[in-house]
Each structure stands twice: as C-alpha cells, then as structure tokens.
C-alpha cells in the first residue's frame, strides 16, 4: 500500500500538468517596427506589462518579443510578440483587469504604431 500512494500522487500531478498544458494558449502578433527607438520603447512597454501581470498574481502569463535575424530578407512581419497564457479564463481576466486596461490606454498611441498592420492569431494546444 505504501508503494501505491507515491505512484498515485505522481499520477495526479502528471494529470494536472497535462490538463494545464491543454488549457494553455498563445496569442501571436506579427508586425513591423519602423526604427530602433520605437523598438526600444516597445520592449520597455512589454517589460512593464509583464511586471504588472506578475503583480496581479499571474506570473506565468507574459509576453515575449522576438524579431527575425538581420540577415533575413523578408520585408514584412519582421517582429513578433507572443502572449503566453495559462488558460482562456486567465487571458480574459487579465485583459479585463483595470491595471491591464490602464497600461493599454497609456501605451495605445505607441503600441498602435506596431499593431496597425499586424497579423494576429490565437493558438491552442493540439493534443
């Protein structure tokens, strides 16, 4: 019986982790940034909202900023922001939170520069 309890606990933890992974989603924004000053400002904005989300109690939800290599010859969608969300519910709670809305309002003019011509998709785990 003593050997079954640790196995059972391990199975429950594994099931919980699998369930969490299946509920996770990513939001992906592809866009272009005009110059280095705008990029620096945008990265600062991303760091700020990540800190705010952690303070709100959602440290596992965050944005990552990425860009293609300088040697990449594509002319469009050279930058990307990926939103990492633990669940659809957390995504909604975060985006409806007054602190998130205040950040969005404060940064709407700056972030709109990048987001105006963006390609946006939400991706869910596929098993």
Domain, as residue range, for 86: 24-124
Local confidence band at 115 (pLDDT 50, 70, 90 cut-offs)? low
For residue 22, the model assigns a pLDDT of 61
Local confidence band at 111 (pLDDT 50, 70, 90 cut-offs)? confident
For helices 98-115 and 36-55, the axis angle rounded to 10 degrees is: 160
Is the pLDDT at 3 greater than 80? The verdict is no
Nearest to 119 by CA among 74, 86, 70, 52: 74
Residue 16 lies in a domain: no
DSSP reduced 3-state for 20: helix
Considering the entire predicted model, what is its pTM?
0.78
Q: What CATH number corresponds to the domain at position 120?
A: 3.30.70.100
25-70 tens-digit pLDDT: 999 999 998 888 889 999 999 999 999 999 999 999 999 999 999 9
């Amino acid at each position: 019986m003593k050997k079954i309890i640790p196995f059972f606990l391990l199975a429950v933890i594994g099931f919980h982790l699998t369930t969490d992974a299946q509920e996770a989603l990513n939001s992906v924004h592809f866009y272009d940034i005009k110059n280095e000053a705008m990029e620096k400002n945008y990265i600062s904005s991303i760091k700020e909202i990540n800190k705010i989300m952690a303070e709100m109690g959602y440290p596992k939800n965050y944005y990552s900023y990425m860009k293609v290599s300088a040697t990449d010859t594509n002319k469009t969608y050279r930058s990307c922001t990926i939103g990492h969300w633990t669940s659809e519910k957390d995504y909604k709670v975060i985006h409806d939170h007054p602190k998130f809305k205040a950040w969005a309002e404060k940064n709407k003019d700056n972030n709109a520069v990048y987001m105006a011509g963006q390609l946006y998709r939400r991706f869910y785990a596929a098993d």
